[in-house]
Amino acid sequence: GKIEAVVDAYEGGGDVGAKISELQNFFEHDYARPLRLLVNDDYLAEMSVTIARLEPMREAGCDEFTAECEALRAAARRIYLSEVPSLERVM
């Protein structure tokens, strides 16, 4: 929901900086910290770098901002799917 809030603010002319800050705070304190025990650090590092790029991209008016948000969403989904038990992993 935090990523969607950033995109909605960006597309709707809201306070994007505040939403990016909320996303970054959520990621650092509520998402990444507990997942570090379970998930490959490379996935979390990738997400951290992507989040860090959002504010400079917004300030520069980069047209790749929403694409970067989609990459962030894909990284979160990759983490989620890597933790879901599946028959392929058991065999």
pLDDT tens across 24-78, in order? 999 888 877 777 777 767 888 888 999 999 999 999 988 899 999 999 999 888 8
DSSP 65-84: HHHHHHHHHHHHHHHHHHHS
pLDDT class for 85, splitting at 50, 70, 90?
low
pTM above 0.85, yes or no: no
Q: Residue 42 has what pLDDT?
A: 80
Residue 86 has pLDDT above 60, yes or no: no
Q: Residue 8 has what pLDDT?
A: 94
